[in-house]
Amino acid sequence: MPRFALSIPGFSRLLGRGNGGEGSASEIPEPEDPLLEVGRRLKSEREARGLNLRQMALETKISTPVLEALERGWRDRLPEGAYLKSMLPLLEEYLNLPGGSLSAALPAESESATTPGMVQRFTPGSIDVFSSWQGTVLYGAITLGLIYGLNLQQRQLAAANLLSYQPIPALKPSEQAKPVQAGNSLLAAYPDLKPLERAKQGSGAAALRQQLQDPKQQGQGVLELNLSQASALDLSSEGGQRTRLSGSKGQVVLQLQPPLTLSIAPAPKTGEVLWNGKPLAALAKQPGRFQVPAPQAQRP
């Protein structure tokens, strides 16, 4: 089947113009980043002085990675704009460049920052204290609230007698001259608070020995006989001791539990019968008979 081809004059040229238009639009170069021009200028100035990056970093106090990023146009490796803004004047002064000649390296400001007077929605997080009337009002309200709360707390403490509005008065000159003995009145009221003095007296040790002593041995005494002549003895005590001697002479020492009864014949002389080191007196009208009563119970 034969094919028919229509030739329209100028149609091919229109198509060619359309293709050529697309090609010309794609061939338009993108604008160069100003940072690259700054980097080339910075590098040429450095090389003109015969310095390397390390030497320049030591003299300008700017780190080597930052200088390298500036020269190579690595914007993603540069510090934040606030820090970079303080570094560029140092480089301009060090290289004797005109002021602001390296400011093209700074990042472009956002539209919100470059458009003055733009009204933004008011939120507590967007308040600039002392730079806007909203921040000043909020700061003043918070300050007044804190002062009121502190005053209210102080009043409550004073009402509960936990706080005094009056300062502590100073001592009189006569009282200040006296030596500091703050605990005398307390020790006078509570003598048991003097542990060292009580230890010197031995009262605590005596009480401890008395508590540790066997109850059966409490109240025991020592009977001492110094007989100058042969005598007959008859002794009995509460502890169960019982002794009978005849023709005894000399010294006899016994530890006994009172009460006890002692009979000596013939009657001994005065001072020959001792109880706990003290002379024991004979019974009335019975010169040869002696008796030691039971000890009285000690009060706790």
pLDDT tens digit sequence for 146-201:
999 999 999 999 888 888 777 788 878 877 777 666 566 667 777 666 666 666 66
Do the beta carbons of residue 245 and residue 227 sit within 8 Å?
no
- Core vs surface per residue 216-255: b (16+ CB within 10 A) or e: eeebbbebbbebeeebebbbbbebeeeeebeebeeeeeee
Tell me the per-residue pLDDT of 49-92, one tens digit each, with 9 for 90 and over: 888 989 988 988 899 999 898 888 888 888 888 888 888 888 88
pLDDT(105) > 70: yes
Residue whose structure tokens are 């140092």: 90
Residue 109 has pLDDT above 60, yes or no: yes
Q: What is the mean pLDDT of the chain?
A: 76
Contact 233, 244 (CB under 8 A): yes
Which option is the CATH number for 34-105: 3.40.50.970, 1.10.260.40, 3.30.1510.10, 3.20.20.70? 1.10.260.40
Region 115-121 average pLDDT: 49
**pTM, entire model:** 0.32
Residue 113 has pLDDT above 50, yes or no: no
Tokens of 33: 């980043």
Task: Please give the Cα distance from 88 to 67 (Å, whole number).
Answer: 10
Task: Read off φ and ψ for residue 238, nearest 5 degrees.
Answer: -65, -30
In percent, how much of the chain has pLDDT > 70? 67
The alpha carbon dihedral of 193, 194, 199, 202 has a sign of negative
- Confidence (pLDDT) at 141: 93
Q: Give me the pLDDT at residue 181, please.
A: 64
